[in-house]
Amino acid sequence: MRKWKVEVGLAYEDDNERGWELVAISVEAVNATDAELIALSRATTTKPVFDNLVGAFIYHMVEEE
């Protein structure tokens, strides 16, 4: 397993405002694709999430040494 630090962007939209915030997540995974999927899943299910969440995306990812 390799360790990754992934920054996930959470996009939100409400009546008068659109924007996004970053959530940093540390992940252990076999490869980069698995790390991305795990990070997206954790960011959208375990962190406090906006009621008006419209999407999530990988903003930055780096393998930790």
Work out the pLDDT band at 16, boundaries 50, 70, 90: confident
Q: Edge-to-edge strand order for the sheet containing 53-63?
A: 17-29, 2-14, 53-63
Alpha-carbon torsion, ordered 45, 27, 37, 7, to 10 deg: 80
DSSP state of 52: T
39-62 tens-digit pLDDT: 999 988 865 666 788 889 999 999
- CATH code reported for the domain at 2-63: 3.10.20
pTM for the full model?
0.82
Q: Would you list the domain boundaries of the chain?
A: 2-63
Question: How much is the average pLDDT of 28-32?
Answer: 96
Residue 50 φ then ψ, to 5°: -65, 145
Burial class of residue 11 (count of CB atoms within 10 Å of its CB; 0-12, 13-18, 19+) = middle
From CA 24, how far away is CA 48, in angstroms rounded? 13
